[in-house]
A and B are shown apart, each in its own frame.
Chain A
Amino acid sequence: MLDLAFAETNPGPLKSVLDLIGAAAPRVLDPLLAPAPELQERLRAEMKERLADEAALAGA
């Protein structure tokens, strides 16, 4: 997951998935650019799995 989160300059990848925790705000400021779509898709899939683990930890 860390490899994906930091595959492009932070915080672009992280911001692309903030909607998963209810804080949608993907925009990055100049000179950063939005991460590549493929990276966003891979990080999103990975983060969804991790968030399921988070929910389990919350219930533990």
Chain B
Amino acid sequence: MTTKLTAAQLRGIFPALPTPVRADDSVDAQATRALMRYLLPQGIAGVVPIGGTGEYGALPRDERVRMTALCAQEADGRVPVIPGVLDPGFHDALAAGKALAAAGASALMVLTPYYTTPTQRGIRDYFLRYADASPVPVLIYEIPYRTRIAIAPEVLHELSRHENIIGMKACNTDMYHFLKVVAGVHESFAVLSGEDSLFPVQMAAGAKGGIVVTATMLPRTWQRIYELARDGRTAEGSLRTAS
């Protein structure tokens, strides 16, 4: 993308990409290109490589960069490429983000700093510092059932006002938490559903779209579910999701 990504562009379906790999654990460029060429004509709003679905933690560092570069080359500016940054500490996370930005990332989906069990103030300071230093916009990645770190809604409200923090992937399955988050985030911040199973309900509650695993296979089905939910036809969207 040639212009800086904003929350206004975080609408619709963003497939969470698996990383095709060869027997030596390197990225399979041919399969990656095929995957992107399957998805790009089908109405997706962007792609999210090397998150949890992309096996970030198991991929060699150079291969994470290579996967991002391949996706960016194929996207060629038509949709944003938003790779994950799943390192547990600031310096490795920032170095990763800078390398991914140089490879063509439009924004970064940055995981909560896990393992150290930070306080809420520590989480806030971490993301503010990261956003100040990041060369591209940041989406917060909250997934407490993996990290055991939940971000308080009030902290997300404050972070949502930072000019370089444009959204989040919400994988907290506590819907009351979700409602409190959505109720107070700034208009320059988009909450994206991060749970395939909760997508229609989270849309009804204020999500602007979703980062969806199974949209890699079924992008048009998920686009239809998105349209139904966006138009207030949540029950129909839920039926399609659950069937």
A contact residues vs B (CB 8 Å cutoff): 1-2, 5-6, 10-11, 14-15, 17-18, 20-25, 27-32, 47, 50-51, 53-54, 57-58
Contacts and interface: CB of A to CB of B under 8 A. Distances in A.
Contact of B55 (A29, A51, A54, A57): A29
Given A11-B55, A23-B31, A2 B217 contact: no
Nearest to B52: A10
Contacts of A57: 220-221, 223-224
Given A10-B52, A11-B213, A23-B35, A18 B21 contact: no
Interface string B223-243: 110000000000000000111
B53 A14 contact: yes
B128 interface: no
B214 A2 contact: yes
15 contacts: A5-B213, A14-B213, A14-B217, A18-B35, A18-B216, A21-B216, A27-B21, A27-B22, A50-B221, A51-B217, A53-B218, A53-B221, A54-B220, A57-B221, A57-B223
Contact of B217 (A6, A24, A30, A47): A47
B18 interface: yes
Nearest to A21: B38
A47 B221 CA distance: 12
Give the bracket for the number of chain B residues in contact with chain A.
20 to 34
Contact of B34 (A17, A22, A27, A58): A22
B214 A25 contact: no
Contact of B21 (A1, A10, A29, A53): A29
Interface string B48-68: 000011110011000000000
Contacts of A28: 55
B224 to A, nearest CB: 6
A5 B21 contact: no
A31 B213 CA distance: 20
Nearest to A29: B58
